[in-house]
Structures are given as C-alpha cells and as structure tokens.
Structure 1
Amino acid sequence: MKISMKKRKVGYTYGSVSGHFAFRKQKSIAFESTLERDLLTLLEFNDSVDDVIEQPLTIEYVNHNGRAVTYTPDFLVDFKEAEASLLKRPRKPLLIEVKPREKLQKHFKELKPRFKVAMRYAHANDMIFKIYDESKIRTPYLNNILFLKRYKRLTYREEDESNILAYINSSGSITIEAVIEYLFISKEQKSIGLGQIWHLLANKKLLCNFSKMLDKQTIVWVNDNLLFGGDDV
C-alpha cells in the first residue's frame, strides 16, 4: 500500500452538484455533491473542528485481481486540541467517505475493499475512518443550522441584545417563549425579539440542544465563553 499526498482534483460528476464551500470565511473547500456540502455545513458549525481538507490523499493498493488501484477519501477533519483543564483526550483526525445510502447498498461489494484499506491506513496513522450517508448528515441538527443561517448576519438593537442576554444569564436556562413573554409587549416586538434570539443562537452567544428541532419551547442558556472573554468561533 502506497500513499500519495497529491490531492485528486475535484471535478464535475454527472448527476451530482459540485461547487466550493466558503469554510468560516477562511478557505474554500470543494465538494462534489449536495451531501458533501451538507456535511461541510455540519463541520463548519462544530466548534471542535479545526480544519477540513477535501480529498487529502490517495491510497494505492493491489486489489483481489492483482491490479494496482487507488482510493481517495473525501475529507480529512482535524480537531482542536482539548483543554487541559477538561482532562479530555485530543480527538483523532477523521478520514471521511461520503456516500448516499442507495449507492452504499448497491455497490457495497465493490466498495468494501477500498474501505478496508482506508481503515487500515487510518489505524496505522492514529486516525479514524468513517462513512457518512444521509442518516448521519441530514438530521434535525443540520435543519437547525440551515434555519439559523438566515439570521446570522442580521442586525438588531444592541440594547435589546444586552437585555436578552442579561435576563437569560440571570435565569440560568429558560425557554425562548418565556424570554419573549417577559421582555417584549407588542406582537411586533415579540416577533423581532424572536428573530434576535435566533440571531444569538446562530452566532452562539446563546446555546441550546441543537440536535432537537428549534421552537419556542427550546431551552436556551448563555454561552459564557463568548460573553466573558472566550474565543469566538
């Protein structure tokens, strides 16, 4: 088995959607399908992710017919170092293959040798190899991220933001509905206030359980790291 660090060029694939994803305004990452694009959306929102590289390496190996063939994983994901105070082990880098479930089921016999080679390579290099299909990507978590994106760059009154954060901070954790009912009076004010809470969640000044669908009964709390001197992500 040989490894080539020369990345395979991402190109157009018939029947798929390709493009470039602006990852945290720091780099452009190529994708070859909407499923890959959606995974990049998840990775961008995940604060523990430090970097993502598309098609980072090519593994050369000999198949069961004695032919020299290659396999290129879709992404390599590096994670930020764990804080020593949390006594957590650093997360191992992830080598990721993205495939629709239908293709996995239909072509698994053909794909299995490639995946086994990738698993061996990952194990030998202190990585983890994972396969992602729709069930792992297109989740309520993704739906929430896409919903919040429309509020991320909107602007609201700083005074209202301070009032919202102060009230939630004093409450510890509280439903969105309770915040709106306490701080706003008119229907119009409540509508604007709700949008501002979505904005604060999109920018992670507020946090919640993002894996559950967002609504007015969602419990939110203040992200102390962002408010009081932590690193913005």
Structure 2
Amino acid sequence: MRRRIIKPNTRSFTGRHVLPDGSGDVRFESGLERDFLTLLGARDDVLEILEQPVTLTLAGPDGKPRRYTPDFKVTYRDRVVIYEVKYRDQFRKRWPNDRDKYCQARAWAQANGMRFRIVTELTIRTVRFENARFLAAYRDVTPDPALAGTILAALAGGPRTVLDLVRTLCPDRADRVGFYTAFWPMLANRTLRADPRAPIGMDLVVEAAP
C-alpha cells in the first residue's frame, strides 16, 4: 500500500493548501477538497493531514482486484479518519457502483484502528466553513499589542458579544476600523475563542482563550 502523489494537471482543479502551522502544504484536486482543507485548518484538534495517503487493493464486483485511493487521512487528537470527498450529485450518481468499494474501505480502516467517512458539500460548506474562510485572511496578521491588550482586558470579566465590545471600546465610530484590525487576527489565531458553528457577526459571543 503506497501513497499516491497528486500532480498538477489540466483535467481537474488542483492546487496547494498551506497548513496553518507552517509545517508544509497539502494538495487538492477539486474546489470541494480545497474547502475541506480550509475547514480542517480552522480546527485546533487536527495534528496531521495527508493527501492520497494509501492505495488499497480491493475485490471488484467481478471478483477481480481493483485499486482505490481515498482523498485524505486526518489525524486528530483522539482519532484518525480516512476521508473520501465527493460532490453530492457525483456521489449519488456513482453510489451503485461504488458502494461495495466504500464498504471495503470502511472495513479496512476499522481493522487498522481508523474510521472512514464520505463527506460532501452538505457537511463541508457550512457556517463553520464560512467562518474558517473569513478568518483565514487574518491568520498571518499580527494585531497591535496595545489594542490586543485592551480587548483582552475588556474580556477579563467573561464572554461578551462583538457588539458589546465595540460599543464599550469604540464609542467613537472612527475607532472601529482599528478595533477590527486587532480583533479578527486575535480570533483567527485563537487568542480569542468563539463557537465555530455560530455565524460571525455582531451577535457572536467571544471570550479570551485559556
């Protein structure tokens, strides 16, 4: 069983997703795979992501062997998951032919102490993804230390909404631009913490990370 390396090509949408910790990059073969990697990049429990991690030799419907390479292997703090990333219409169209393949892949993953999951845009392109995509632009921005200290001091008493913070710290509307230049990077880099499933907006509740 060997890992297949993805090479750029003209037949599909390929590219490289830079890992948030700067440890390298992961290649993708579709816009949906790119979005999946963006979603993973916003999680703090992901330890490693490998693309095309293994090629399995499975039994085909006619009894002859066939090869199958899942899209990603993701190591979380508490589990390892093998992922197949598919657009829902493609998945449904190919399900009669691919069902046995995925069942065998799931059995192989379980036998090797891992899980197997098929994910589509319904589970990828969620509020959590939209949040991750928005904050990705601020991940490499260093907030002004004085502004960051002011925001943390305002949160010393506990969680507050973004609107509450803005009204407290920026009574003058002209100061709000500066506030956000520090606030979004702090949220992107987890100096601040919020529910990743809650839409980013003025009603978002945030707190200082422990």
TM-score (norm: length of structure 1): 0.85
Paired residue type of 2:159: S
- Counting only pairs closer than 5 Å after superposition, residues 1-233 of structure 1 correspond to structure 2 as 4=1, 6-12=2-8, 16-24=12-20, 25-80=22-77, 91-170=78-157, 172-224=158-210
Q: Deviations over 1:4-60 (max 9, x none)?
A: 1x2123135665310111112111211111111111111122111100111111110
Q: Distance in 2 between matches of 1:198 and 1:101?
A: 33
Preserved contact between residue 143 and residue 183 of structure 2 (Cα < 8 Å):
no
Q: Deviations over 1:123-172 (max 9, x none)?
A: 111111000100111111111111112233334431121011011122x1
Q: Distance in 1 between matches of 2:160 and 2:185?
A: 17
Paired residue type of 2:92: Q
Q: Distance in 1 between matches of 2:109 and 2:25?
A: 25
Q: Which runs of 4+ in 1 moved over 6 A?
A: none
**Per-residue deviation, 1:62:** 2.1
Q: Residues 16 and 156 from structure 1, CA distance in 2 versus in 1: closer, same or farther, beyond 3 angstroms?
A: same
Secondary structure of the residue aligned to 2:156 is: helix
Secondary structure of the residue aligned to 1:169 is: coil
Preserved contact between residue 13 and residue 32 of structure 1 (Cα < 8 Å):
no
Taking only the aligned residue pairs, the percentage that are identical comes to 29
**Number of equivalences:** 209
Answer with 153-162 or 206-215: which moved more: 153-162
Give the root-mean-square deviation of aligned CA atoms: 1.5
Q: Distance in 1 between matches of 2:186 and 2:197?
A: 17
Preserved contact between residue 20 and residue 28 of structure 1 (Cα < 8 Å):
yes
Q: Distance in 2 between matches of 1:165 and 1:17?
A: 42
**Per-residue deviation, 1:208:** 0.7
TM-score (norm: length of structure 2): 0.94
Preserved contact between residue 180 and residue 194 of structure 1 (Cα < 8 Å):
no
Q: Distance in 2 between matches of 1:150 and 1:93?
A: 28
Q: Deviations over 1:169-210 (max 9, x none)?
A: 22x111111111111232120232133221211111111111
